[in-house]
Chain A
C-alpha cells in the first residue's frame, strides 16, 4: 500500500489527521489542549500506521514517505500497489487517465472504514486592502474565489474540471460539471458521498488557527517520519510532539 506521506503541510500530517479522525480522535480539543497522551486515539493510530512499515506488517511501500499528491498518484499508476490513501486531492484524474497511467480504468475509490468519517480543507483567497487599484483587486478576488460577471464560479469550475479539485460552493458540487466532468475518472456518487462525510481539518487539529501550528508541523513531519522509518517509537514521537508545542510557541 502506498500512503500519501511525503513531507508537507497537508500530506504526511493530513494522512495522520485523517486516520485519527476516522477512528474518532482529534489532536487538540476545543480549548486547545493536546490529545496526544498515552492511550489517545492519535497515538494508537500512529502505532498502527508505523506497524504497516517494514518492521511490522511490512505492507507499506517505503516510497510513501517521499510522495506528494501528484507524485503519489503517478507512482500508484505504475500498478505496483493495491491501495493509495488517504485519497488526498483524489488523484483519480491521474491514476485513471489513460494518458498518464497504465492501470487507467481499474482504480476504484472507496470511503474510509467504519462510518466513513474523513476530513477536507477548503482554501480561500484574500487580498490586502492596501491595493493601488481596489476596483481591479475586487474583480480579481471575484474571479479567483467567487463569481465572474457572467454569474458563474469560473475559477472553481475550471479547477474542478481540470484538476478534479472539489469546491467549497455546494452549487458547483451539485452541478453537471462534477457529474459529467468527473465521470471518466471515478464513481461520482461514491465520491460525493465521501465529500458529504468530511469535516473541516480544524475539527481534528484546531491548532491550525494558531501561528505556532506551522513550526510545530515542521517538527511533526520530522518526528513522524522518524517513527515510520523505525528510528523512534510512536510513544517517543508523540512525547516529542507534546514537548514541541511549547518550543513552537516560542518560535513565533
Chain B
C-alpha cells in the first residue's frame, strides 16, 4: 500500500539529497561536467567551505536573520492569534483572508514588492514616513550596510507570519474553555490566565513553529535575491546565497556548493535537536 508513496518520496526527496551528498565529496566543476567524470575528493570541499571567511560571514548574517525573524514571528503570531481568537472581537471572513494573504504571495514577488517599497527616492515607505513627518530625508533602507539585513527581515516576516498564526490559532482553539472559567473563578486576571494556561498549552506548537521557521529562515534566499543580492558589500550574504553563488556563478563549483548546503543542513538539524530536547525536558518537568 505504501510502496508508491515511498517510491515517490524516494525519487523527489531522497535522491536529490543523496546525490548532493555524492557531489559534496567529489570534485565537480564545469570541466568535470563536460568530461562526465567526477574525481573523488574526500572532505576537501567541506574543508574549503569551512576555511572560507565569506562562509562564516554568511553564517553570522544567517544567525542574526534567523533570530530576528523567528522571535518576531512567534511573538506576533501569538498576539494576532489571541486577538482573532477573542469571541468578543468580530473578524470577518475578509479579515481572515487578508491575514492569510501574504502566505500566498510567491517569495520572489514578495521580494520585488518590498524592493519597490524600500526604494530610496521613489519608495512608498519613505513617502509615508516623510508625510508623517517622521523623517526629513529619504532613508536608504536596503542599500545601507547598517540597515540592509534588518530591512530584509521585514518582508520575510510579513510573508511567513500567517503560517505561524494558523498554527497558534488552531492550538488556541484546542484549549478547553473550562480552564479559563475555573481560573476566572479563582480570581486570575488576564495576564495570569495567559501566563499559567495559554502559554504552557501552546508550548508544543511553539516548539514546532520554532523548528520549522528556524529551518526555513536558515534557508532564506528569494528575498535576498530580489532586494539586496547579498549587498551592499557582504551585509546580506546569507548561507543559502553563499551556496547559490558558489554553485551557479562561474566557475560553478557544484561540489563545494553541495558541501556548503550539507553543512547548513547539519546546523539546522543540530538546532532542531536542541529545541526538541529543551521543550520535552520542560514538558516532563
Contacts and interface: CB of A to CB of B under 8 A. Distances in A.
Interface stretch (A140-148, A163-171, A224-232): A224-232
Nearest to B142: A66
A240 to B, nearest CB: 11
B120 A62 contact: yes
| B interface SS class | loop
A215 B230 CA distance: 15
B29 interface: yes
A63 B233 contact: no
A61 B120 contact: yes
A24 interface: no
Contacts of B231: 7, 65-66, 221-222, 225
A228 B120 CA distance: 16
A1 B42 CA distance: 51
A66 B228 contact: yes
A98 interface: no
Contacts of A214: 249-251
A80 B121 CA distance: 8
A80 B122 contact: yes
B120 A252 contact: no
Interface residues of A toward B: which range? 20 to 34
A7 B245 CA distance: 12
Interface in A218-252: 218, 221-223, 225-226, 228-229, 231, 251-252
B111 interface: no
B230 A7 contact: yes
Contacts of B160: none
Given A63-B143, A66-B228, A78 B122 contact: yes
A124 interface: no
B145 A231 contact: yes
B21 interface: no
B120 A251 contact: no
Interface string A61-84: 111011000000001001010000
Given A63-B119, A229-B232, A231-B145, A251 B48 contact: yes
Task: List the 7 closest pairs (A to B, CB-CB), nearest first.
Answer: A226-B233, A214-B250, A62-B140, A225-B233, A7-B229, A225-B232, A63-B120
18 contacts: A7-B229, A7-B231, A61-B120, A62-B143, A66-B115, A66-B228, A213-B250, A214-B249, A218-B249, A221-B231, A222-B231, A225-B233, A226-B232, A226-B234, A229-B145, A229-B232, A251-B48, A251-B251
Interface of A: 6-7, 9, 61-63, 65-66, 75, 78, 80, 128, 211-215, 218, 221-223, 225-226, 228-229, 231, 251-252
